Amino acid sequence: MKASKSLLSISLIVILVMSFTAMALAQDLDIIPIKVRCRAKPPMENWRGLNFLVAEKDLNADLEAMGDPRRVKVEVIQDNLDWGEYITEFVLGYGAGESPDIWLTGHEYIGTQAEAGRIIALDGIIKEFPIYNLVFDTLWDCTKYKGETWGVPQDAEARPLYWNKTLLKKLGWSDGEIAALSGKIEKGEFTLYDMLETAKQAVDKGVVEPGNGFWTRPKNGPDFTPFYYAFGGETIDSATGKLVFDKTAGLKYYKFFYDAAQKYGSMGCLGLDWSSAWHPGVTSKVLFWVGGTWQWAEWAEKFLKDLGGEAYMWENFGFGLIPAAEKGGKPNSLTHPLAYLVSSQCKYPDLAVALIAKVTNYGPNTRHAIASTHLGILKGQTEYKFYKESRLLSEALYMLDYTTFLPNNPYWGTYSTVTYEALAACVGGDFTPEKAVDFVVEGLNRELGDKVIIK
């Protein structure tokens, strides 16, 4: 009886001591909440945010090993807001002192946010994480503004010209001709106007309905800029960092879209709703269209799953670069890398950058790349076992050699709105190409003044 009492007392003492020790240790630990805000189309792009939840344990293990009393607690907020609303949310959230610590966004927003002081330059911190040396240099260039690095690239993509093989066959193309098309585009033998001619033939022969020869995205966005580049246009002056509008290239660019809509039975796409009209359209009744590599996964997962998903797409769709404007010219594509930015309201930027380093690695990035059909961002990623298994990623990778980018400038949004309005007016038949150029010059001068150079 006496022995059991002493045993009980000892046990209680041990429990008490252990509890106090645990409490003392717990009090020493500093839990740092890190809020991560991502835009992602579910389910394809979920890894953009979910990778951080995996990285949390990994980073906490590192912190524990080095005796750092801090521990991160990641909170991921992820949805599929429109870009405009997504940006507004960040700006207003910042104004209220409640911005996320890590914010994923398109690289072209860096200029605006850096100028306003809402994000921090990362040059000093990223040096301490050698994993960042694996990221392609061209992608780092996208996150630079005024000589400093403001973000870490998250993914990349190509924006190919897609075509419907079945409709080309109906038009009389042989399998060999269809298979050779991407090569002809790469060599500059098949131009933008060759594409429109083919589209017109398809309309004339009743293979596609008028308007369905060639489509772009249905509203303003980055996909139009590579066409402007194809006609020799430039968007930014490297010496001054100011935006540029080239009237000669602009005239050719607007003429192309005017001709496409008014003469070549194309561009019946502007204003369409994405889900109910655009995606069903391009996946069934349009001959040529411009899209992103990420849409490959979207079509397979959402729009063509019943027909066989990706297998059906390989059977029926082909893709290549955006053709050159003239014979022998250089085709192109556009990459619009997203990047993780760190808010200037983040109290522990070193931990935020450490977390980003954890997701900037072969495993996590490849998970996202495969699920969302985005291109990899790391050197040697094409040799990574799991990356290699994605056929689309492997076959589209060469497009990065021809890629172009949007400029990092705070006023790109305004520039893009004015130039797109002129394009939509050309497509609608409201403007001639000449009138469109006048409209852009007048609009840019009125809205941006000396912030833009008109050449």
Binding positions for other proteins, rule: CB under 8 A: 82-88, 91-92, 94-95, 108-109, 112, 115-118, 209, 219-221, 270-273, 276-277, 280-281, 410-414, 416-417, 421, 424-425, 428, 430, 439, 442, 446-447
**Min dist. Cβ of residue 329 to other proteins (A):** 28
**Min dist. Cβ of residue 286 to other proteins (A):** 12
What is the residue type of 318? G
**Min dist. Cβ of residue 117 to other proteins (A):** 8
Q: How far apart are CA 287 and CA 203, in angstroms?
A: 9
Q: Is 178:168 a contact under the CB 8 Å cutoff?
A: yes
**Which residue's CB is nearer to other proteins, number 35 or number 279?**
279
**Which residue's CB is nearer to other proteins, number 192 or number 436?**
436
CA distances from 71 to 28, 54, 67, 427 (A): 11, 14, 11, 55
Of 409, 407, 431, 408, which Cα lies nearest the Cα of 421?
431
Q: Which residue has the tokens 């594509």?
A: 333
**Which residue's CB is nearer to other proteins, number 88 or number 248?**
88
**Which residue's CB is nearer to other proteins, number 109 or number 362?**
109
Q: How far apart are CA 232 and CA 249, in angstroms?
A: 5
**Which residue's CB is nearer to other proteins, number 270 or number 287?**
270
**Which residue's CB is nearer to other proteins, number 132 or number 411?**
411
**Which residue's CB is nearer to other proteins, number 244 or number 369?**
244
**Min dist. Cβ of residue 54 to other proteins (A):** 29
- Written in H, E and C, the secondary structure of 259-294 is HHHHCCCCCCCCCCCHHHHHHHHHCCCCCEEECCHH
Q: Is 414:108 a contact under the CB 8 Å cutoff?
A: no
Find all residues with CB under 8 Å of 84, minimum gap 6, and list them.
none
Q: Is 29:67 a contact under the CB 8 Å cutoff?
A: no
- Rounded to a whole number, what is the distance in angstroms from the first to the last CA of the chain? 100
**Which residue's CB is nearer to other proteins, number 161 or number 440?**
440
**Min dist. Cβ of residue 311 to other proteins (A):** 23
**Min dist. Cβ of residue 107 to other proteins (A):** 12
Q: Helix crossing, 412-428 with 247-262: angle to 10°?
A: 40
**Which residue's CB is nearer to other proteins, number 340 or number 415?**
415
Find all residues with CB under 8 Å of 334, minimum gap 6, and list them.
158, 159, 222, 223, 225, 226, 229, 322, 403, 404, 405, 406
What is the residue type of 310? E
**Min dist. Cβ of residue 73 to other proteins (A):** 28
**Min dist. Cβ of residue 249 to other proteins (A):** 21
**Which residue's CB is nearer to other proteins, number 226 or number 376?**
226
Q: Is 282:273 a contact under the CB 8 Å cutoff?
A: no
**Min dist. Cβ of residue 47 to other proteins (A):** 24
**Min dist. Cβ of residue 338 to other proteins (A):** 14
Q: What is the enclosing helix (H) or strand (E) of 319? A: strand 317-320
